[in-house]
Amino acid sequence: MTSAALLPAPVPATDVPGTSAQLALADDLLTLLRTTTTEPRPDEQLEALTVAVAADLPVLLWGEPGIGKTSALTQLAASLGLPLTTVIASVHEPSDFSGLPILGDDPAVQGVPMAPPQWAVELVRAGRGLLFLDELSTATPAVQAALLRVVLERRVGTLQLPPGVRIVAAANPPASAADGWELSPPLANRFVHLHWVHEREVVVRGLGGVWPRAELPHLAPERLPEAVAFARRAVCGFLRARPALIHRLPSTETRRGGAWPSPRSWQAALTLLAFGTAAAVSREVLALLVRGAVGDGPGLELLAHLDRMDLPDPETLLADPASAELPVRGDLRQAALDAVVAAVGARPERERWEAAWAVLARALETGAPDLLAAPATTLAALRRDDWEVPEAVERLAGVVGIVRRADRSVARATASAEAGRTSAVRR
């Protein structure tokens, strides 16, 4: 008899006393760790995502591995009450999106139908859901081509996804992706691109069990027609002034895989602008959305155009200076005052000149005086010899003089500091 035969037979783990109880406790502990709550908390990138989802536009989240893109989508689906369907694009074949050919009884007469995959059938059966296309940047060019109809036309094979299905994708930058590919321009131009980054406080509170709550934007019913009219007026007016930006394919392959302007992406920007206006989102959220649709450069130009649209009509200000409503933001207020002075310069009349001084006096009552020096100086130069100086000029003279003296003091201090640095270098 060998020594091994003398050893007791191994006892299965399930027969060890207390094993089942310990595994049950381990499951309880895991349940506690996975149990989290949400709280209403300002989160610009999450708000931008929910606006784009509400607008039924495909969204692509760009972010480094482990940044929380998948967790954000899981929490978003739970908050919106939508079933989440996750499809890892990189592990599928093109036929998984374009459909698998199935031979029928008489293919010569009836053709060969393209059968959809199971996940698409389940989405149609549910009638609504959140389709999450993960690892998009590791999908081969052939798979990306097959995804074009899924993203734009919502078709998988011969199956039409219902209107209640929203599409969100996620991707790592090619440098961070395993065997990553640049996104093809046709596919990239179908998405609203949002760059997902982590915020320290969000991560800390989330690990503590409280994550930001994803909520759909609150659309005001009475603002819907006005929001659509404003968005159309803004985008169309901007493109009339900048027709070169209607379609501009980037020159580098990397930039072609991001947001860039085309008639399709301008339509997306118009839609996002209407939704953002109706929901009264912040400028920061609106900037994320517009830049994510048409790219950073064109998006920033459109935002500057929106600021100019918000400026009050200078003729309206001149008609009733006492009740003039001037912008709060300093740069917009400065532009409004400059526009008033320019309007007087274009049609110099004594009454209009005096009204412009009254507008400047109104600006002094409602804002910082340092914005008045330049328009007051220009307006004073427009005076004709037979025009008497209005009382408003006396009210502004002291303020303008103080501002000028302060500017000269700053200039002298700057010059002195520069001279000191020059002297030190020479020594």
Query: 104 in the Ramachandran plot: left (φ > 0), alpha (ψ -120 to 50) or beta?
Result: beta
* Amino acid 25: pLDDT: 92
* Amino acid 111: pLDDT: 66
* CB 283 within 8 Å of CB 276: no
Q: Which of 256, 250, 249 is nearest to 182 (CA)?
A: 256
* Amino acid 413: pLDDT: 40
E strands in 7-110:
37-39, 59-62, 84-88, 100-101
* Amino acid 11: pLDDT: 54
Residues in the chain: 427
**DSSP symbols for 343-363:** HHHHS--HHHHHHHHHHHHHH
Residue 351's contacts (CB-CB under 8 Å, 6 or more residues apart) are none
Rg (CA), the chain: 31
Residues 94 and 239: their CA atoms lie apart, in Å, by 37
Segment (H or E) for 306? helix 296-309
Residue 48's contacts (CB-CB under 8 Å, 6 or more residues apart) are 194, 285, 288, 289, 292
Residues 292 and 407: their CA atoms lie apart, in Å, by 40
Q: Which of 217, 163, 199 is nearest to 63 (CA)?
A: 199
pLDDT in tens, the chain (427 residues): 455 555 555 555 555 567 888 899 999 999 999 888 888 888 899 999 999 999 999 999 998 888 888 888 888 888 888 899 999 988 888 888 887 777 666 666 666 677 788 889 999 999 999 999 998 888 888 999 989 989 988 988 888 999 899 999 999 887 665 566 888 999 999 999 999 988 888 888 888 888 888 888 888 888 899 999 999 999 999 999 899 999 999 988 889 999 999 999 999 999 999 999 999 999 999 999 999 999 999 999 999 889 888 788 889 899 998 888 888 888 888 888 988 999 999 999 999 988 998 898 888 888 777 788 888 888 888 888 888 878 777 777 666 554 444 344 334 444 554 555 555 545 5
* CB 214 within 8 Å of CB 285: no
* Amino acid 108: pLDDT: 62
The torsion angles phi and psi of 281, rounded to 5 degrees, stand at -75, 165
Residues 214 and 75: their CA atoms lie apart, in Å, by 7
Estimate to the nearest angstrom the gap between the alpha carbon of 416 and the chain centroid: 45
pTM equals: 0.74
Structure tokens of 69? 């893109």
**DSSP symbols for 240-302:** HH-GGGSS---SSHHHHTS----HHHHHHHHHHHHHHHHHT--HHHHHHHHHHHH-HHHHHHH
Residues 253 and 181: their CA atoms lie apart, in Å, by 10
